[in-house]
Amino acid sequence: MHWKKMSDWKRKLLAGAMAFALMASSLAVPDGTLSAVAEETTAGAVSEDTDTASADDQAVVERETGSSAEPSAVVENETGASSDAAAVTESETGASGQTSAGTDTQTDANTETDSNTDTSTSQSETTSGTQSETTASVSSSSNTQTNAAVAYTDADESEETEEATETEEITPVESDIAVDRVALPENFMEGVDISSYASLIDSGVTFYDFEGNELDEAGFFELLAECGVNYVRIRVWNDPYDAEGNSYGGGNCDTDTAIRIGQWATEAGLKVAIDFHYSDFWADPGKQYAPKAWADMTLEEKTEALETWTKESLSAILDAGVDVGMVQIGNETTTGIAGETDWSNMCRLFSAGSAAVRAVSAEYGQEILVALHFTNPESGKYETYAQILYQNGVDYDVFASSYYPY
């Protein structure tokens, strides 16, 4: 049975047996390394390790077809062709005969003692860049422990392939199936988060175009536009500095930095999405700390402070000529916002931020979308979140999401 075709519980059981066998075999090998070498022989040949062990430690392994070990060393590939050969286990580095530390090797051994014939094999599955499958069984009439190996690799999982290394030529054929190209609307957002750009260039980082030409700030954002980018997102923290004025890092993303980056983006014809974290540093599902200035506030005080700060910061950004098209009320607020974790309290803060954006949008006569931002769509909880927002009367335009597939 192929390892990948086994059910989950069988693989776990087999992995445990292999790990135990690997530990046991390593005790008989110098320096704790596992060396598996099978010498090419004729019928009745024996593959022996340099170390010997008692007959009690010898093992008999039956081939996956269910037949007992044959009295000859046979290596069968997936095509079914057999030949007398040496069974060699190769590690991920390509070295044969030895599995070194750091290489993922799985060994499967079924042990049995026979009074007349002592046979020992071990199976090892080693992952390599390309994979093919071989099996080996070794028989010995001596009382010397034998360490043979079976290397499983999966270059071509199809057992019907004549040669694992043979490349199948594909001939195009006409078909009635046609897939129309998806036409994206002109207002489709193709964006990047560029929040650390100013901090990087201030630190001496130089950017280049595809021809190796050095780019200044204008050239960098023009290159983004030429590559199809039409939106940039800029995160904003309330007060990302300690009492001595030292930045917490992460791009020094205060309102002034957002204005600086936003102006470069606007000059290149890009629209800007402002991402208010409502924190002095990163806000995400693992941490949603209130800004230092809001730490001791009641919910009512915090709600008022959030609305006021949003109005003032957004107005300053618009006054600087930044073309803001969307404002994000919080960042990855799945577990909270500005220190509030109760959904009722969170909705009050969402509504305060939304009201601030609506007021500024009306004052400046500029359409600005309001986005709420969550994460982990695979959790299946987005419908619940949307229902909570609806029940609490939260006003927003965009239900935004982060997604981390890794």
Alpha-carbon distance 231 to 369, whole Å? 13
Query: Considering the entire predicted model, what is its pTM?
Result: 0.58
pLDDT tens, the chain, 406 aa long: 444 445 554 555 555 555 544 444 444 444 433 333 333 333 333 333 434 333 344 433 333 434 443 433 333 333 333 333 333 333 333 333 333 333 343 334 333 334 333 433 333 333 333 333 333 333 333 333 433 333 434 444 444 444 545 677 888 888 888 888 888 888 899 999 999 999 999 999 999 999 999 999 999 999 999 999 999 999 999 999 999 999 999 999 999 999 999 999 999 999 999 999 999 999 999 999 999 999 999 999 999 999 999 999 999 999 999 999 999 999 999 999 999 999 999 999 999 999 999 999 999 999 999 999 999 999 999 999 999 999 999 999 999 999 988 7
* Residue 331 tokens, joined: 């960042």
Only one residue has tokens 């974290």, namely: 277
